[in-house]
């Protein structure tokens, strides 16, 4: 069904019929429930706290002993919050937090997996691109530079790629 057909169909429905359909969607699809819960009670601070806890738990687990270090956990939150329409500043903060907590972990424990460093570079590139796209890079520039500096301090094998991203911002 096209958007135009949907619009035509919805215009033919009475208000009670529309309400009934929306209630049905709300009950059947958890995504609709999540959307309306956020739309009517956008407790962004709570969302961020939960996300940061789960991201940090990937590196510094509360219950188990072995960290999983999955970048995908943060990516799911970022994608979900983008879909919900969470403020760009909050999403950018979460993107950088993901990298910063990973750097905190790698400063304490030796990480040998090359994939870890590559995925952090990808996260960094995506974060910078997102901030440029949303026009909020200036507010986060200190943190972006600090991430780059930390890759140099920890001697990450791909530190030059991090530096190249930051250097492109300065021109």
**Residues 48, 97, 168, CA angle at the centre, nearest 5°?**
130
Q: Do 102 and 148 reside in the same domain of the chain?
A: yes
Q: How many domains does the chain have?
A: 2
Q: Do 108 and 124 reside in the same domain of the chain?
A: yes
Q: Do 26 and 94 reside in the same domain of the chain?
A: no
Q: Do 161 and 119 reside in the same domain of the chain?
A: yes
* Closest-CA residue to 145 (of 131, 120, 162): 162
Instruction: Tell me what the pLDDT averaged over the chain comes to.
Output: 92
Q: Do 15 and 88 reside in the same domain of the chain?
A: no
Q: Do 17 and 53 reside in the same domain of the chain?
A: no
Tell me: the pLDDT tens digits for 14-28?
999 999 998 998 899
Domain that holds residue 135: 43-169
Tell me: the pLDDT tens digits for 39-87?
787 778 888 999 999 999 999 999 888 899 998 999 999 999 998 888 9
Backbone angle region of 67, left / alpha / beta, with phi > 0 → left and psi within -120 to 50 → alpha: beta
Q: Do 150 and 140 reside in the same domain of the chain?
A: yes
Q: Do 24 and 92 reside in the same domain of the chain?
A: no
- Using the structure block, give the residue that is written with the tokens 């930051």: 166
pLDDT of residue 171: 57
pLDDT of residue 107: 96
* Strand locations in the chain (E): none
Tell me: the pLDDT tens digits for 88-120?
999 999 999 999 999 999 999 999 999 999 999
Q: Do 26 and 108 reside in the same domain of the chain?
A: no
Cβ(108)–Cβ(59) below 8 Å: no
Q: Do 68 and 151 reside in the same domain of the chain?
A: yes
pLDDT of residue 116: 95
Q: Do 25 and 64 reside in the same domain of the chain?
A: no
Q: Do 60 and 106 reside in the same domain of the chain?
A: yes
Looking from the CA of 79 toward its CB, the CA atoms found within 13 Å total: 7
pTM of the model: 0.82
Percent of the chain having pLDDT more than 70?
99
């Amino acid at each position: 069904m096209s958007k135009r057909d949907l619009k035509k169909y919805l215009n033919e429905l009475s208000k009670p019929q529309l309400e009934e359909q929306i209630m049905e969607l709300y009950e059947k699809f958890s995504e609709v429930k999540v959307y309306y819960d956020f739309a009517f009670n956008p407790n962004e601070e709570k969302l961020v706290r939960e996300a940061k806890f789960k991201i940090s738990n990937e590196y510094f687990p509360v219950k188990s002993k072995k960290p999983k270090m999955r970048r995908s956990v943060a990516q799911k939150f970022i994608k979900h919050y983008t879909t919900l329409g969470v403020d760009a500043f909050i999403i950018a903060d979460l993107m950088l937090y993901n990298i910063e907590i990973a750097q905190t972990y790698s400063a304490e424990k030796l990480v040998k997996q090359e994939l870890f460093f590559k995925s952090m570079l990808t996260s960094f590139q995506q974060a910078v691109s997102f901030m440029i796209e949303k026009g909020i890079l200036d507010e986060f520039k200190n943190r972006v530079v600090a991430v780059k500096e930390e890759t140099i301090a920890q001697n990450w094998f791909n530190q030059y790629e991090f530096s190249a991203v930051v250097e492109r911002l300065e021109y």
